[in-house]
Chain A
Amino acid sequence: MSVAETTGPASAAPLLRIRDLKVGFSSHGKMLPAVRGLDVELSKGEVLGIVGESGSGKSLGMLASLGLQARNAVVTGSVVFKGRELIGRPRREMRALRGSEISMIFQDPLSSLNPVMTVGDQIREALVLHNRSMTKAQATARVLELLQLVAIPQPDRRINQYPHEFSGGMRQRVMIAMAIANNPELLVADEPTTALDVTVQAQIMRMLRDLKEKLGLALILITHDLGVVAGHADRVAVIYAGLVVEEAEVRELFANPRHPYTRGLIASIPKLTASKDKLYSIPGAPPMLGALPEGCAFHPRCSFAQDVCRKVAPPTVELGRHRASCHFAETLPPWGEPARAAQSEEPAHG
């Protein structure tokens, strides 16, 4: 336990604070908003789950925070990491930050590793880039240590192999080894288990949690899978159409979801007890970029939608450490077994 943590969360400045982050793409003279004002916070050593459907802007927001957005993207807002503003920071300083203090791993470990470089060289590169004075022998020793840390057997043999000689789970471990090479304080894992077999998924998640404890790093877990978040996150932010629609501690979120979208997501987690043919899914599809509905972006898919939802963007309602962007956040029917069942009874559309 570090000193900062013992003084309590209220006095400790957050490790990362994203405020009103917007990412847009200009197309034919028009601005298409993909992230419309992201607000999240993360303390040291905390695990934040960011949940949303594909295209909700969850990955894009994190990439833009690290200066990794596409060249035609326009980024505004504020991302403060350890008291330093990252938006608009010179590229050279962002490079020095990436891979040393903040690391990232991605969905598909095969396409995320360079096919023509040995695994050892790729990890070594991460080390040498941030420690110019490191000798090759020192780097190699550290690479072997890292491979051991992520439980890759026979590291001295594996170090000279290429990514295609590794299995999917092993490749993701290599990505993790590369990401933690410089003892970062924040690791952003973008769908780290989506491309992996179910049995391997659990191993990777357990490894991330162990490393988090061992190295004291904070973790941002970007996923479309609420199940992953339920088991591993401290806090969850649910993103819909480029906005955080609900944020709460993980238990609170599952016990008392205050946004209809979150309720839909929870209801669509398959349960062993539910009858097979009644798997719930949220009707409709997320809005297209540049074709956002007026009012609340979720209203066309929402079973609680009223006139006000179609006209007025919802306010963010704070209920203690729990916030939700819904006109009816406080008046939604209580979330319990009956409500759950009712939601599950609804026939599946789209």
Chain B
Amino acid sequence: MLNYIVRRSIAMPFILLGIVTMAFLLTAITKGDPLTAVVSEQQLNNPEIVAAARQRWGLDRPLPERYLIYVGNLLKGDMGTSFVTRRPVTTDLMARLPATFELVISAMIIGSVIGIVFGLLAAYYRDTAIDQGARIFSLFGSSVPIFWLGLALLFLFSVKYQILPGPGRIDPRMSPPPVVTGFMTIDTLLAGNFTAFKDALSHLILPSIVLGWTVAGTISRLVRANMLEVMEREFILTARAKGAGELRVVLRHAFRNILVPVLTVISYSFAYLITGAVLTEAVFAWPGMGSYAVTAARSLDFPAIIGVTIVGGVMFLITNLLTDIAYVLANPRVRLN
């Protein structure tokens, strides 16, 4: 096990280098001149200003040289300067990553719990009204567009009934707490400000539900299909024959046997949502990675695009490793090699 983790950790920098190279090359072959992001439209006609900007951003150098410089800087933790915000990309990312993490983690908790419970119920009460209800629920989550769902929920709960606040992470009239973890809910608690904590938490609810719903649909279908298979296995009969109750049979005997596929889908959803929460972040004005990536892509902000790609890649690597470790804990027959 430890051996495995060490070996995987050794392989990681090489995979990372591959990601960096791919991200760099992909931006290089993209049509469109990044200068449009740096220089204003009138100044684009001025060759002197254009040449100066090219030199200032290093765009006059050949691609291999730019690549080497970038990798060299990356080793020092420098991802370059964003064309748009004119701040170091690492600073931008560090400010936005926690916002996304907070949203995605709470969405994953909601989505996993609902998805697993609905999947278990649908499998146990197969072909009944409960199964149909769960099917409609998950179909809804995976087929209704997020922007529509987000707006609909915002309209219902924030505008019409005013139970929950509108977009953003915290009421703009409140002064945000000093940044410690970057998680608004945790930072407000650390600051001892309970009013702000309640406000931050209520801001988190709607976007988490919207994002979690899509995940819940996928998870509940997967849990249902796997449970139907496991419940037919003979050890389920053994468990019943020794006098186990149905709840124990389902949770302790059957569900434990499907943990591996469930963990897989949860971890992949998590890694995907880190950069894939774009629409939800847009609808709820959530200052996270998704909205940063969209702005960067729209304005050909190459350093920011590469930065987002690298962070997304690292997220996948880490979740993959954690998932593999979880496999071993979930299934004693898995031996990592």
Contacts and interface: CB of A to CB of B under 8 A. Distances in A.
A2 to B, nearest CB: 25
B182 to A, nearest CB: 37
B257 A116 contact: yes
A114 interface: yes
Nearest to A97: B243
Contact of A113 (B238, B240, B332): B238
B234 interface: yes
Contact of B238 (A95, A112, A118): A112
A112 B235 CA distance: 4
A178 interface: yes
Contacts of A99: 241-244
Given A68-B237, A111-B234, A111-B235, A116 B243 contact: no
Interface residues on B, range: 20 to 34
B242 A129 contact: yes
Contacts of B243: 95-100, 126, 129-130
Nearest to A66: B241
B245 A95 contact: yes
Nearest to A121: B252
Contacts of B235: 111-115
Contacts of A114: 235, 238-239, 253, 256-257
A156 interface: no
A328 interface: no
Contact of B330 (A106, A111, A116): A116
Contacts, number: 75
A106 B256 contact: no
Give the size range of A's interface with the partner.
Answer: 20 to 34
Nearest to A164: B333
Interface string B227-269: 0000001110111111111000000110011010000000000
Nearest to B241: A104
Contacts of B252: 117, 125
A116 B242 contact: no
B331 A116 contact: yes
Given A117-B256, A162-B333, A95 B241 contact: no
B244 A129 contact: yes
Contacts of A66: 241
A108 interface: yes
A223 interface: no
Contacts of B330: 116
Interface string B278-301: 000000000000000000000000
The 9 A-B pairs at the shortest CB distance, nearest first, are namely A99-B242, A99-B243, A111-B234, A104-B241, A126-B242, A114-B235, A98-B243, A162-B332, A112-B234
Given A103-B242, A125-B242, 6 more contacts: A68-B237, A112-B235, A116-B331, A162-B332, A164-B333, A178-B242
Interface of B: 233-235, 237-245, 252-253, 256-257, 259, 330-333
27 contacts: A66-B241, A95-B243, A95-B245, A97-B243, A98-B243, A99-B243, A103-B242, A106-B238, A108-B234, A111-B234, A111-B235, A112-B234, A112-B235, A112-B238, A114-B235, A114-B239, A114-B256, A115-B331, A116-B257, A116-B259, A116-B330, A116-B332, A117-B256, A125-B244, A126-B243, A164-B332, A175-B238
